[in-house]
Amino acid sequence: MLKPKKTITKKEIQRDPFLESINKTQAHLQEKRSYYMKIALGLIVMLIGYNIISEKKSQSNFDASAALGQAMVALDRGDLENAQFQLETVISEFNGSESAEISGYHLGKMKYESGDNNEAEIYLSQFLLDQPVDVMVSSAALMLADISLQGGNTQEAISFLDIGIKKSKDSHTRRIIKLEKAKLILSDGDIEGARTITDGILSDKDITVIEKQVAEELLGRIPG
C-alpha cells in the first residue's frame, strides 16, 4: 500500500538545507545560461542543417527543429507565455522527434520554476527516459530529486541524484550533486557511504574553496 506523501510547507522548504543546495546548483547552471543556450541553439542549427542535406530526414523533422528554434528565441527574450505555447506546440505536433524531447525538458523546467511539481515531473521524467542531450540530464535529475524529496521520498531522490552524477559533464555540478547524495544517505544511516563520497571529493585536485568547505563540514558530521 502506498504511503501518503508528506506535506511540506513553504517555510519548511525555504529552510531545508538540501533545497538550499539545489537552489545554489540551479543558480550555477543559471550563470551558464548563455552557454547552455548557445549549445541548444547550436543543436537546433545542426538539426536544421542535417535535415536539409539528408534525404532520410522528413519535412516534419525540419519543421520541428524550426519551431523549437522559435521557442528558444522566445525563452531567451524572457517571453515565457509565448515560449510555453511554442514548446507545447512542438510536443503536440512533432511527438517522438528529438525537438519534442528537448521541448519537454524546457517545459518541465518552466513548470518546476513556477511551482507546478506535478506537471514538471511528467515532462522531466519523460526527458530523463529519452535523454536526447546529455548536458541537460543533470539539471533534470536535480529538479526531479527536489520534487521527490518534497514528496518525502528520499530513496527516489537519491536515485535521481545518481543519474545526475553519472551524466554530469561539469565537475563542479557533479561534486555538488555528490555532496547532496552524501547528505541524504548519511541522514538515512549510510555512514560509510557518505564518508567515501566526502573523502573522494576532498582528494580532488581542482576542488573549489566552497566545495572543500561543504565537504569538510559534512565530514565533521560523520560519526567516528
- Each domain of the chain, given as residue ranges in start order, spans 16-219
Question: Is the pLDDT at 16 greater than 50, yes or no?
Answer: no
User: Comparing C-alpha atoms, which of 64, 65, 23 is closest to residue 180?
Assistant: 23
Q: Which of 208, 169, 201, 167 is nearest to 183 (CA)?
A: 201
Residue 221 has pLDDT above 50, yes or no: yes
d(CA 165, CA 196): 15
Domain 16-219 has CATH 3.40.640.10: no
Pairwise CA distance, residues 88 & 34, whole Å: 23
In the chain the first and final C-alpha atoms are separated, in Å, by: 38
Instruction: Check residue 138 and give its pLDDT.
Output: 86
- pLDDT per residue over 140-167, tens digit each? 998 999 999 889 899 999 999 999 999 8
